[in-house]
Structure 1
Amino acid sequence: MATLDDVRRIAVGLPGSEERATTGGAAWFVRHKLYAWECHPWPSMPEDVREIVAAELVVGVKVADSIDKLALVEMAPTVFLHTTTPWGEPKVAFRMAGIGDDHLAELVTEAWRIQAPKYLRREFDEVGSSSLRANSEGDR
Structure 2
Amino acid sequence: MATLDDVRSIAGDLPGSEERATTGGAAWFVRNKLFAWECHPWPSIPEDVRAIVAAELVLGVKVADELDALALREMAPDVFLPQTTGWGEPKIAFRMARIDRDHLTELVVEAWRVQAPKYLQREFDALHA
Scaled by the length of structure 1, the TM-score of the pair is 0.92
The residue matched to 1:70 in structure 2 has which SS?
Answer: helix
Which residue does the alignment assign to 1:42?
Answer: 42
Of residues 78-87 and 28-37 in structure 1, the stretch that sits farther from structure 2 once superposed is 78-87
Point out where structure 1 has 5 or more consecutive residues left out of the alignment: 130-140
State the secondary structure of the residue aligned to 1:89: coil
Distance in 2 separating the partners of 1:37 and 1:122: 24
Q: What CA deviation, in whole Å up to 9, does each residue of 1:80-100 have, x standing for no partner?
A: 001111110000000001100
Superposed, which structure 2 residues align to 1:28-107 within 5 Å?
Answer: 28-107=28-107
Q: Percentage identity across aligned positions? A: 78
SS in 1 for 2:105: helix
Paired position in structure 2 for 1:135: none
Larger Cα Rg: Structure 1 or Structure 2? 1
Equivalences, count? 129
Deviations 1:30-83 (A, max 9, x none): 000000000000000000000000000000000000000000000000110011
- Displaced runs of 4 or more, over 6 A: none
CA separation in 2, counterparts of 1:85 and 1:70?
14
RMSD over aligned Cα, in angstroms? 0.4
Map Cα deviations across residues 84-122 of structure 1 (whole Å, 9 max, x no partner): 111100000000011001000000000000000000000
Gaps of 5+ in 2: none
